[in-house]
Chain A
Amino acid sequence: MTVTTALERDTLATAAARIRSHVVDMCAGPEGGHLGGAFSCADVLAALYFSVLNVDPQRPDDPDRDRFLLSKGHAAVGLYATLAERGFFPVEELAGYGRPGSRLMGHPVRAVPGVELPTGSLGHGLALGCGFALAARYAGSAARSFVLLGDGELQEGSVWEAAIAAASLRLDRLVAVVDRNGLQLTGATDGIAPMEPLADRWRSFGWAVRDVDGHDPNQLAEHLNAAPWEPGKPSVLIARTVKGQGLPFLAGRSASHYVTLSARNHARAVRALRTTEVAG
């Protein structure tokens, strides 16, 4: 397991805070954005891009790079913020999100440096990730492939088609993360389609499973850096998260799913994040 330095610990928390800050700004733009789901996975994204992924913003096409897919593509604002912070494109470009002339669409598009493939329709990412992992195996590359899934997304049958294939092909360089925030557009995920015991479900599909706090970026990074956890098995990290985590007036509410922040609420959100950061 990778030893996390004090500097790195600060780096990950800071990165997550900066991601949330950018998301709040983007969601105050004319189109708004999927704030809640971007906030719930902000710590996962920080861990991935600032500790785990072997990617180089200067060489985004390096064939030996690790590949990441945001299968819950609606959290695009979170991914854009992360890629900008990581240096794939200028942070200033985030101000154009959702506006004519910008390449930052509401769901990730390949025109954005660092985006491997477009996502948005749920249930596509894990099959694509299987393809990445299989191609890496054929190329003799040690690269790993990471796919971030929403928990509501697990209602799509295609996720489980891919889960079966990944286990049967023994794709142990494939790592899935489930952003288990427990909410989807209209309410509680388990009220609509109960998924617990979720870890057992994945285990029964032949995956190595860890079930962890999704808001501790250092712990997330340690787990993800250590994958594969069991030789011959794909890994899934169930990240227990809170939708809208970090904004008291939206956290844990399905109303955070898609938000267009008024000037007043934007100021409120900025203040809340500052307080959280100081407290953290």
Chain B
Amino acid sequence: MSRATREAYRDTLLSLLERHPELMCLDSDTGLFNAEHAAAAGDQYLNIGIAEHNLMGMAAGMAACGRIPFVNTMAAFATSRALEAIKIDIAYNRLPVRIMATHGGLAAGHLGPTHQALEDLAVMRALPGMTVVVPADAAATEAFVEQSVHLAGPLYVRLGRKPTPALPAAPAPVIGQAQTLRQGGDVVLASCGPYPVLACLAAADVLAAQGIEATVLNLHTLRPFDTETLVAAARPASLVVTLEEHWRSGGLGGAVAEALAEAAPTRVLRLGMPDQFVNEVGNQEHLVTHYDLTAERVVKTVRTALDTAAGPGRGEREDRSAAGVPVLT
């Protein structure tokens, strides 16, 4: 069943407000809460207007006085426009503000680069004490929002916009614990977010039919990072491929490469958005396909890398563009 992660967040929060009077919802006119939702939340909901720095600052001030504010804005505005307030007022003070960032990755679709966030995970992951999660579906969103009530320190949650498909049955999502969605000893496919995780699962099916067994990890928590699960999965494998709706620097692929470089050096190929602003018009699914964040790309990347590793003459020449390496033309 498809459901928007941002709506799952909203509905979960509404159910929590009554039981937890210390929770607040501060909105910046995102429209996520309509008049009925706002009425249901009562005085625990406030639309403070289109002012993201002020949103983060007020939330920090309230958190310093014992409240737990959930703030609603878009990922693009949270992590670039209001970054200084997040860094100094929230992260520096380790305050329990929950930054609920909608329109993450390419979810803004045709709204364009002003509304897309392809750097948010890198930016949030750099801040000491910040927990960074990317739920892959509505069920995970519900779980993370419920768990966040008792989480120490600040939290960044990357949400989507339109309905995205539910993941197949998976271990219960817990903040900080990677989910192993499939076991296999040859390669590791690691991703986060709705479309990349589904693409990795589909790629694993195709690879299995070709005799290549893949472990599929949903690394939904980028910070604190579950290095242990990643390393355990990577040890028997000869290759780790990451896929994300994010520029290739500093996001999930960066986190995986950093962790493995120190704990268990393994070849890592990072698939993500090319190093450019989006210039294609279309919805999220169209853009994901257009920029080739797909199962086919994952399969091709794995096959090319394994064939190349098998030795000269036996495999194809590595497709550098498929591996996301810039090609000079």
Contacts and interface: CB of A to CB of B under 8 A. Distances in A.
Contacts of B24: 138
Nearest to B97: A131
Where chain B touches its partner, the secondary structure class is helix
Nearest to A130: B58
Contact of A121 (B54, B59, B63, B84): B84
B64 A128 contact: yes
Contact of B93 (A117, A123, A132): A117
B62 A117 contact: no
Contact of A161 (B43, B46, B53, B89): B53
B42 to A, nearest CB: 11
Interface in A105-157: 110, 116-118, 120-121, 123-124, 126-136, 138-139, 157
Nearest to A141: B65
Which of B51, B53, B61, B92 has the most CB atoms of chain A within a 10 A radius of its CB? B61
A136 B60 CA distance: 14
Which of A116, A132, A135, A162 has the most CB atoms of chain B within a 10 A radius of its CB? A135
Contacts of B48: 165, 168-169
A165 B58 contact: yes
Which of A118, A126, A136, A158 has the most CB atoms of chain B within a 10 A radius of its CB? A158
B2 to A, nearest CB: 36
B61 A128 contact: yes
B67 A127 contact: no
A126 B58 CA distance: 9
A114 to B, nearest CB: 14
A149 B24 CA distance: 27
A139 to B, nearest CB: 7
B85 interface: yes
A57 interface: no
A110 B88 CA distance: 12
B57 interface: yes
A63 interface: yes
Given A110-B93, A118-B88, A124-B88, A161 B54 contact: yes
Given A118-B88, A118-B93, A165 B54 contact: yes
A164 B61 contact: no
Interface string B81-94: 00011001100110
B93 A139 contact: no
Contact of A118 (B43, B63, B92): B92
Contact of A165 (B49, B62, B89, B93): B49
Interface in A183-217: none
A124 B84 CA distance: 9
Contacts of A169: 46, 48
A135 B67 contact: yes
Interface in B72-119: 84-85, 88-89, 92-93
Given A127-B85, A128-B89, A168-B49, A134 B54 contact: no
Given A121-B88, A169-B48, A127 B62 contact: no
Which of A123, A126, A131, A135 has the most CB atoms of chain B within a 10 A radius of its CB? A131
Contacts of A127: 53-54, 56-58, 60-61, 85, 89
Interface in B19-75: 24, 43, 46, 48-49, 51, 53-54, 56-67
Contact of B65 (A118, A120, A123, A132): A132
B67 A124 contact: no
Given A131-B60, A131-B64, A158 B93 contact: no
A181 to B, nearest CB: 24
Nearest to A138: B67
Contact of A117 (B43, B51, B60): B60
Nearest to B63: A131
Contacts of B49: 164-165, 168
B84 A131 contact: no
Given A135-B66, A135-B67, A158 B54 contact: yes
Contacts of B84: 121, 124
Nearest to B64: A117
Nearest to B67: A135
Which of B24, B53, B54 has the most CB atoms of chain A within a 10 A radius of its CB? B54
A128 B93 CA distance: 12
- Nearest 3 pairs of A and B residues by beta carbon: A131-B61, A127-B57, A135-B65
Interface of A: 63, 67, 110, 116-118, 120-121, 123-124, 126-136, 138-139, 157-158, 161-162, 164-165, 168-169
Given A118-B93, A134-B62, A157-B53, 13 more contacts: A117-B60, A118-B88, A118-B92, A121-B88, A127-B57, A128-B58, A131-B61, A135-B65, A135-B66, A138-B24, A139-B65, A161-B51, A169-B48
29 contacts: A63-B66, A67-B65, A117-B60, A117-B61, A117-B93, A120-B88, A121-B84, A124-B57, A124-B84, A124-B85, A124-B88, A124-B89, A127-B53, A127-B57, A127-B85, A128-B57, A130-B61, A131-B65, A134-B62, A136-B65, A138-B24, A139-B66, A158-B53, A161-B51, A162-B54, A162-B57, A165-B51, A168-B49, A169-B46
